[in-house]
Structure 1
């Protein structure tokens, strides 16, 4: 049973950074997201820093300050040279991961670069994970290196597969070819960001990954797809994706959910 929404964006005001590729027309208030969770009997979730706010995580941290830390967490965006002190402050606010949003031609960080290696060491020291949003064909070549970083790696949005047949998909083939998948996690979220049915790809991923390495996310408020996606629709689809339980994964990645009654978390 899915108990957590592990991918949502919350912002009370819309004040975009220069160069933002998309700016929503209206805020996505915390109270609205909480209402969606309550309506579906969900126990908590994860706020992911939205791209148009860049590395200004203040709205996310403000939202987390009003939430129960045993049921809610955050994923931030930071500069590669972020200081340990800054990460400590974010961790103190409930942040458990750092996101790289690399779609639409953004440069993939050089994993051997000194600054990137220092960042990864800081994440390891704080038991934080790295979350990656990247198209499947660009993700596939770097998956082996990502699996050996020494940090947990969370892949957004099914890995944005590119081929309609799972066995033909380069990203899924790359997952299959990994000798060790213990560091790799996937988010089943935002199916509408892929131009075909991703249910078969979800089933393939579930057959390849350890059973506790998948979480679900609504991707609310569905930025760039507001006209054709809504919470009710993505929640209805979740039952078709084959995620039996997210309890172990959310504990591992976000440190939340440990206080839930066993009957609710199964």
Structure 2
């Protein structure tokens, strides 16, 4: 019997969440993980080429804190194929943010998962940051446990900044689609203020990601969901392949027109590839 043909993505596809890293980089005391190996931008671009993926979004990992040197170096060497989300001090100036944007950074990441205490999004510093991001048309990328979303998401919505939520919104596996955070995320998507990444299903506990895809894609969700791999799967480095991540998307979304929106049209527009 002939081998099956690997699943492919439409031309112009965007991988909306990946990382580059160096083991010798300056590690933050607030990190909840660490790089297992050096991962270069050249390696990542080679992986994209091998799987027919045109663009990628490099997400700043938590372990470097506000040092974005590895990210910025990768963006400079990517020939316009990559954008990035940086981790910054909330007191950063608008000029500094604009300089990051000029280097390919299209958003700021709030990596607040696994924190003993979540920073105060209502503080003057964060409110100022959100205003600057809104004015510069940069997005806020939020990684936070779903059970804590109700404390943060409404404040982000009120700021008027674009919001991108990582990894299905990290729902509480015990509550699933009925958890208050997940319900609030779906409502934010319908309000047109929020996007969600269909990514990293292995970070959802024992939950089946397909249970979340349907509610997230309802109504406006088809225009607010984006696909991502989380490559090279920090903490799960040897557990998955890039092809599996593509296959997952096909399993989650059998409709080719919806896959076109999730993998190409929406992320290209959101991250400034067109």
TM (norm. structure 2) is: 0.86
1:176 deviation in Å? 4.2
Task: Tell me the alpha carbon deviations over residues 190-224 of structure 1, each in whole angstroms, 9 at most, x when there is no partner.
Answer: 11111121112012101154422111111111111
8 A Cα contact 2:41 2:78, kept in partner:
no
Q: Mean Cα displacement is larger for which, 10-19 or 24-33?
A: 10-19
Q: What is residue 65 of structure 1 aligned with on the other side?
A: 76
Q: What is residue 124 of structure 1 aligned with on the other side?
A: 134
Q: What is residue 144 of structure 2 aligned with on the other side?
A: 134
Q: What's the Cα RMSD here?
A: 2.1
8 A Cα contact 2:145 2:169, kept in partner:
yes
Indicate which of 244, 251, 265 corresponds to 1:248.
Answer: 265
8 A Cα contact 1:147 1:153, kept in partner:
yes
8 A Cα contact 1:141 1:174, kept in partner:
no
Q: What is residue 227 of structure 1 aligned with on the other side?
A: 238
1:107 deviation in Å? 3.3
1:183 deviation in Å? 0.9
The separation in 2 between residues aligned to 1:92 and 1:182, in whole angstroms, is 26
Task: Tell me the alpha carbon deviations over residues 85-134 of structure 1, each in whole angstroms, 9 at most, x when there is no partner.
Answer: 22122111100000001111253333332111111111112110000000
Structure 1: which 5+ residue stretches go unaligned?
259-266
Q: What is residue 229 of structure 2 aligned with on the other side?
A: 218
**SS at 1:147's partner residue?**
helix
The separation in 2 between residues aligned to 1:44 and 1:24, in whole angstroms, is 23
**SS at 1:28's partner residue?**
coil
The separation in 1 between residues aligned to 2:28 and 2:158, in whole angstroms, is 34
1:164 deviation in Å? 6.0
CA 1:47–1:176 in structure 2 vs 1: closer, same or farther (change >3 Å)?
closer
- Residues 19-34 of structure 1 correspond to what in structure 2 (within 5 A)? 19=29, 20-34=31-45
**SS at 1:172's partner residue?**
helix
Indicate which of 93, 107, 125 corresponds to 1:115.
Answer: 125
Where is the helix percentage greater, Structure 1 or Structure 2?
2
8 A Cα contact 2:162 2:193, kept in partner:
yes
1:151 deviation in Å? 0.5
1:236 deviation in Å? 1.8
- Residues 191-202 of structure 1 correspond to what in structure 2 (within 5 A)? 191-195=201-205, 196-202=207-213
The separation in 1 between residues aligned to 2:96 and 2:237, in whole angstroms, is 33
1:179 deviation in Å? 9.1
The separation in 2 between residues aligned to 1:90 and 1:13, in whole angstroms, is 23
Residue 153 (1) aligns with residue 163 (2): yes
1:42 deviation in Å? 0.6
Q: What is residue 75 of structure 1 aligned with on the other side?
A: 85
CA 1:99–1:199 in structure 2 vs 1: closer, same or farther (change >3 Å)?
same
CA 1:253–1:106 in structure 2 vs 1: closer, same or farther (change >3 Å)?
farther
1:165 deviation in Å? 6.7
**SS at 2:164's partner residue?**
strand
8 A Cα contact 2:85 2:107, kept in partner:
yes
